A and B are shown apart, each in its own frame.
Chain A
Amino acid sequence: MKKLETLTEEQEELMFQTRDEWIDLFFSTKRIDKQTFEEGIKWLYEDLLKKKNPKVLYCESWLEALITIHIVKNKNVGANVGDNVGDNVGDNVRANVWGNVWDNVWDNVRVNVGDYFLDYSEYLDTGSNFGWVSFYDYFERIGILNNEDFKRYKKLVKAGAFQVYEYENYVFAVQPPTHILRNEQGQMNSTKQKAFEWSDGYGFYYVNGMNLPEDIFEKLLKKEYNSEDFFKEDNEETKSAIIGFIQQEYGEEYLFDFLRENLKELDTYTDIKDSKYLEGTTNSMNVGVYTLFKGIINNESIAYVRCYCPSTDRMFFLGVDPVNTNAKDAIASLYRVPKKLKEHILYIQRQGERFSTVFDTEGNTILRTLDKKEIQDVVGIDGNTYFGKIRYEY
């Protein structure tokens, strides 16, 4: 077979079609096709794993599955669950299809196609196989892969179990949720109810794709969540989800009043970036705009910088030392570098809460000699230095 080095227009179109079909399948709330599922399990255990056909138990939610497994395994109900066989399943099918695709596809094609499929197993961190199966499904559709085991396995995955736990003698299959609510960007989102819920009521609250703890969601819904609660929240993603909730449910004016209760706007700095550093951002007018707010809560001075995520335009309020008098220095104060490397910074990049700093040759040498104490001995840099060094921010 000739090595595939580029994709034709039709193959590229098929890539998106395949991806969308699998995404739709992931968000499907159709219940498990029990006949197909049990036939698939029988094939998997008897033909592929050379084991006895196990008993299949269906569970209404992930929580029910965990409780059921615990009860069956640990209570004296006369059942022998046996060992988990999950790894074997993956090894048997994946190893079979691995080499074929890997050998016949140029690295670049593989990686580019992978970008479109491998993300989709991340939802809720379940062990969904949709990512890697959809990835190989695409190569099957373009004629690179023709493997009977993969076809049978794909059919089993398509039977619609949300998650499956396989043991020697038992298989526990979780039914799909009854609803998955999403926003226009496809992120799980609801300000009215759980965005993701199973038939037994177990589920999760999400706003703009970010999980909100139930107690915070309930307080927000009853308008009992106040700015003091907000400023005490220590998770920036949760704070951003709270802002998203308020914006969607009550509007910008409510949000402004919510914050104005304790904060006064002091200064704004706009970092005007070269257009090349805006690639990969939303290119929104909010990118690079930093506003310093100050106020008092319980007689304590507080200061926050409002900024926007360049990748998603989500609003963040980051705590800064109230000694700051301008937004530029305030946002720069959240960057830290080992003291011994401060004078060796070539440039800085960032992705969310993580900074990537590149040093000059001497700095690189020093970096490799620092012990833990020296790595922990960090200092900040001023706003002018910071914005003179920063490149891509996502």
Chain B
Amino acid sequence: MNINLKSITMETLKQINVAPSSTQGHFVEGAKNVVNLDEVTESFLVEGKSQLVTKNHTTLEMEHDCLVNCQVVYNPFSKMFEKSKD
């Protein structure tokens, strides 16, 4: 009974998390292929028409092949840009 739904939806809807550092994750559904291009910048090549799904935000329709990557924010104390965390 402690089946995690995420594993079920992975199986049925082919969800791939393209936001590994995000608490809730952002999941690509329905893509032909998702390629992890770089772990540092969390950049993914998404091939085929797909949807980006997450908690707290409306689902984004992605009609074409695209690059999904992470917003940066400026940390005034380290004086550097860093990946935005959510």
Bound complex: CA of A163 vs CA of B45, how far in Å? 37
Distance to closest chain A CB from B54 (angstroms)? 6
Does A9 make an interface contact (CB < 8 A)?
no
Q: Which of A152-198 contact B (CB under 8 A)?
A: 156-157, 161, 163-166
Q: A89-B1, A356-B62 are in contact. Are A235 and B68 (CB under 8 A)?
A: no
Q: Are B86 and A376 within 8 A (Cβ)? A: no
Distance to closest chain A CB from B3 (angstroms)? 4
A residues near B45, Cβ cutoff 8 Å: 367-368
Bound complex: CA of A356 vs CA of B18, how far in Å? 11
Q: Are B60 and A318 within 8 A (Cβ)? A: no
Distance to closest chain A CB from B36 (angstroms)? 10
Q: Are B66 and A319 within 8 A (Cβ)? A: no
Does B32 make an interface contact (CB < 8 A)?
no
B residues near A309, Cβ cutoff 8 Å: 56-57
Q: Are A312 and B72 within 8 A (Cβ)? A: no
Q: A127-B1, A335-B71 are in contact. Are A375 and B37 (CB under 8 A)?
A: yes
Q: A318-B73, A335-B71 are in contact. Are A118 and B4 (CB under 8 A)?
A: no
Instruction: State which of A118, A333, A376, A392 has its C-beta within 8 Å of the C-beta of B40.
Output: A376
Q: Are B1 and A157 within 8 A (Cβ)? A: yes
Q: Interface on chain A toward B: helix, strand, loop, or mixed SS? A: mixed
Bound complex: CA of A368 vs CA of B46, how far in Å? 11
Does A87 make an interface contact (CB < 8 A)?
yes
Bitwise interface map of B from 56 to 86 toward A, beta carbon under 8 Å scored 1, else 0: 1111111111111111111111000111111
Does A364 make an interface contact (CB < 8 A)?
yes
Q: Are B37 and A132 within 8 A (Cβ)? A: no
Does A142 make an interface contact (CB < 8 A)?
no
> A residues within 8 Å of B by Cβ?
86-87, 89-90, 94, 111, 114, 118-119, 121-122, 125-129, 131-132, 156-157, 161, 163-166, 209-211, 231-232, 234-237, 280-281, 297, 300-303, 309-312, 318-322, 333-338, 341, 346, 349-359, 364, 367-368, 370, 372, 375-376, 378, 392, 394
Question: Lowest 5 CB-CB distances: which A-B pairs, in order?
Answer: A127-B2, A121-B5, A394-B58, A90-B3, A280-B58
Contacts beyond the supplied A301-B76, A334-B73: 18 A-B pairs with Cβ under 8 Å: A118-B9, A129-B1, A234-B85, A235-B86, A311-B56, A320-B74, A334-B74, A336-B69, A336-B81, A337-B69, A351-B59, A355-B68, A357-B66, A359-B67, A368-B45, A372-B40, A375-B37, A375-B38
